[in-house]
Amino acid sequence: MNPYLKPYMALIEFLGKTFGPDYEVALHEFNKNDCSVTAITNAHISGRKIGSPLNQTALEAVSKGVYKHQDYLSDYISLSADGKILRSCTYFIKDNHENLIGLLCINFDDSRYKHAIKDILEMCHPNEFIDLNYIYKHADDTQSSGAASAGDTADYENFYTTMEENVGEFLRRLEAEHSVPLNRLTMDEKTELICRMNEKGIFFLKGAVKYVAQKLGCSQASLYRYLNKAKEMGGE
C-alpha cells in the first residue's frame, strides 16, 4: 500500500463508527493497474467488499482528470444494494506532488429518517394528505420502501462487487446500441467502443483489459492496439 494512505485505514473505521450504520465509508487505493476497495465500513449499504471496483462516476472523473482542478465530488446520486437512493461523495487523495493516490468515498442512506418523518406526519395528518403533499418523494411511488423502480435507475450510480459486474453491465449497454454481438463489430466500431470505455476509466479496473478482450473476441495485444488508436483519436 502507498504509505501516504496508511493513516486513512484507521480513519475509515473511525468515520464509520462516528457517523453510524447509515453511512458507508470506503477507501480506494489508486494506481494505473487498479483502484479497488482497500478498506470499507458499513458495507451492507452497497453490498461491496475488499477488492470491489470503484463506481463508474468516480472512474469517469479520474479518467477525465477532474481531481487535477478540484478536491472532491459531492452529492451525486447512487443506489444501495437493495435499490435505495443514496447521497454519495468522493474525496480525491493526492500525494505531495498532486498525483492521485486514492479516493475516500462516503455513501449516505437516509431511508430510516424518511420513514421516521412519515411516521410523525401520520400522527397529525390523514394518509391522503400525506400522499399528496409528502415532502420527501422517492424515485418511485413506493414511498414506504424508499427503493427506486427499475425504470428510474438509469441516471443513478450503481455499485458492483466485482469488475466483471461493472464492465459487463457497461458492455451490455454498448451491445444493445449496436444490436449485434460485440465480437462481430468492425475494427472501427471496436475502436470507437474502446475509446468510450477509456473515457469512462474502465481500464483502470484490475483485469478489465483481459475481460474486455474476451468479450470482443480478440487478443489482449489487439485490444492494446485499439486502445492506443483510441488514445490517439482522443488526443492523449
pLDDT at residue 42, rounded to an integer: 96
Nearest by Cα to 91 from 65, 68, 72? 72
Nearest to 106, CA basis, from 40, 48, 23: 23
Are the C-beta atoms of residues 5 and 27 closer than 8 Å to each other?
A: yes
pLDDT above 80 (res 125): no
Nearest to residue 164, comparing CAs of 134, 121, 206?
206
Q: How far apart are CA 124 and CA 44, in angstroms?
A: 34
Instruction: DSSP letter for 95, please.
Output: -
- Residue of 117 and 133 predicted with greater confidence: 117
Contacts of 56 (CB under 8 A, 6+ apart): 157, 158, 166, 170, 200, 201
Report angle CA 56, 58, 59 to the nearest 5 degrees: 60
Tell me 34's DSSP state. Answer: B
Residue 71: strand, helix, or coil = coil
For the segment 30-43, what is each residue's pLDDT rounded down to a tens digit? 987 778 899 999 99
- In the structure, what pLDDT confidence band is assigned to residue 123 with cuts at 50, 70 and 90? confident
Of the pLDDT bands very low, low, confident and very high (cuts 50, 70, 90), residue 106 is very high
Helical (H) or strand (E) element with 107: strand 100-109
**CA 212 distance to own-chain centroid:** 19
pTM over cut 0.85: no
Residue type, 74: S
Nine-digit cell string for 169: 453491465
Cα separation, 124 vs 34, whole angstroms: 53
Please give the angle made by the CA atoms of 204, 21 and 169, to the nearest 5 degrees.
30
- 27 vs 105: CA distance, rounded Å: 6
pLDDT of residue 12: 96
